[in-house]
A and B are shown apart, each in its own frame.
Chain A
């Protein structure tokens, strides 16, 4: 699996958005047919999804909650992809971030919030970052392609989390539930407006701005774009490619780790083995659809979050299995994947 094979397409955002809208429309039509075949009223289903996600205040807050890990894990893919690295390890990096964050929250529980929270977040970043950096090292030395190693390390990370949650870190008070003790209040990320929307949203948006600014304004961004545009020229211009492989994998993994921080510290308040319903993989697909474009990632993450939230609606109001929305998500991906390439 060579590095150059997953060329993530990049095109001008306005035209891309227009094309994407048309393609997604097609996916919605096909999914409507699927719903019809299942004996459901597609128009009512779509209306219900819309009214309970984008229109409803609480519903929209839940969409935002889901967007946070999706945006972060998508960035975790998009950043290394700038120099042709394929990180499918967002899921594992998210788990490692959560693990490190839980450790910090437990062992420094006595610290005041203004010290503890940054520590929790920093360790979460470090956990995800180091996990990805393992793959980065193996790639920089040309031992194992990062595609394979990030994939394999996903399972290892999830199992390590299970080990701690079922074993040494298991909360003795929660009987048979495999979970750690609840975080102290000082280790909980603040939430806003009485919803579950938490500080992670702000962190994710800041990450996007930093990503954009670093890429377009700084010396490092220039070098990254040079590597993305012509690796051979970059090498001959004296850019230290191995170092960038490491650093970009670390940063990407760190952002996925922050997604894990959000889940444990704000949403669940403790570490559980089933931390993520595949955010890492969805993040990969989001980054892929958006072609690494920051606005595209936010828009696609919003779309995917609405669809995920829509699953709950279909389940409750239409008595369909919740994962049926995966069909809609996959259809959207199919139409994007199968589209005719713009030369």
Chain B
């Protein structure tokens, strides 16, 4: 395999894997708290449009990322209001949120269609950026460098803090968490806000980090892929990194194969993450039963 081939696949993998990784890191937090957010697509779109618009207005990509994250967090509070406070069906609420995000982002983004921005600059790490094969890893933007630390941070938060413990307890058995003195609704609100931040960053990465334009529905299903990745990782933030690499690699390979006219179908390659997710679930079925948070998708009705 030639150096340029490997380098382009690697670059492609990073580019297509990052937004999905951030989104999935957010989703794993909410799902650990017992909420499924099928509206992630909409959250990402809100993050993408807000960050793009702010970057155009202010010229600062950093402010753009911040604005995108905030928009995502606030947007997810709509879901919190529906599924936590009003105890609405999570799947339907999530899908509705997706459509809402698509509509609102289209409206907000209309004036910015065709705008060009510099976006997030790649940061070259001296000495490493020109390595053969691995070079592209060290010519990425700040969000790409932060992705793995972010995954580690989410892992630490979920598994090494009191907050994470209570959050996982809520996702497994809200009544037990309540009995232990924690408030499931408050924790789910926090989880959704935090997940929204991540979803917003994912959108920002897409619009101002990678594509550097705004287009309607530019997420093109990445929100759903992130949901699938969470399943693939069996609700573990560090395994999400592998899932994102796998997904990004499949996309990147596909692009390269396509460019070279290789006889491997890109589309069949793309089915891999989904089939693997399903395979993972099938393998674990009947064995260890406790991969998915036990209370995922249920409504906590209180203790009475």
**A interface, CB within 8 angstroms of B:** 1-2, 5-8, 34, 38, 86, 88, 138, 142-144, 147-149, 151-156, 159-160, 162-163, 166-167, 281, 284-285, 288, 320-331, 333-334, 337-339, 341
Contacts and interface: CB of A to CB of B under 8 A. Distances in A.
Contacts of B227: 151
Interface of B: 36, 38, 78, 81-82, 86-93, 95-100, 102-104, 106-107, 109-110, 216-217, 221, 224-225, 227-228, 231, 265, 267-268, 270-271, 274-275, 277-278, 281-282, 285-286, 292, 296-299
Given A143-B285, A143-B286, A156-B271, A323 B93 contact: no
A147 B227 CA distance: 12
Contacts of A285: 92, 95-96, 99
Given A285-B96, A329-B99, A323 B106 contact: yes
A338 B91 contact: no
B89 to A, nearest CB: 5
Contacts of A328: 103
16 contacts: A1-B296, A6-B91, A34-B107, A144-B281, A151-B228, A154-B224, A155-B225, A156-B275, A159-B267, A159-B271, A160-B267, A160-B268, A323-B217, A324-B103, A337-B93, A341-B87
Contact of A143 (B99, B225, B267, B281): B281
B42 to A, nearest CB: 8
Given A2-B298, A284-B92, A327 B107 contact: yes
A327 B96 contact: no
Given A323-B103, A323-B217, A149 B278 contact: yes
Contact of B297 (A5, A34, A320): A5
A320 B106 CA distance: 9
A337 B102 contact: no
A281 B97 CA distance: 12
Most buried by B among A162, A327, A328: A327
B89 A155 contact: no
Contacts of B92: 6, 284-285, 288, 333, 337
Nearest to B39: A330
A155 B224 contact: yes
B268 A163 contact: yes
A326 B224 contact: no
A143 B282 CA distance: 6
Contacts of A8: 89
B275 to A, nearest CB: 6
A155 B88 contact: no
A133 to B, nearest CB: 15
A334 B82 contact: yes
Nearest to A326: B103
B103 A156 contact: no
Nearest to A337: B88
Contacts of B96: 285, 329-330, 333-334, 337
A116 to B, nearest CB: 28
B267 A162 contact: yes
A152 B298 contact: no
Contact of B271 (A38, A151, A155, A333): A155
Given A1-B292, A143-B285, A338-B82, 20 more contacts: A1-B296, A5-B90, A5-B298, A6-B90, A38-B107, A88-B38, A143-B281, A143-B282, A148-B231, A149-B278, A155-B225, A159-B270, A159-B274, A160-B268, A281-B95, A284-B91, A321-B107, A328-B103, A330-B103, A338-B81
A3 to B, nearest CB: 10
A147 B296 CA distance: 12
A144 B106 contact: no
Contacts of A338: 81-82, 86, 88
A156 B216 contact: no
A338 B297 CA distance: 16
Contact of B274 (A38, A142, A155, A329): A155
A316 B100 CA distance: 21
Contacts of B82: 334, 337-338
Nearest to A86: B91
A259 to B, nearest CB: 17
Given A284-B92, A333-B96, A152 B231 contact: yes
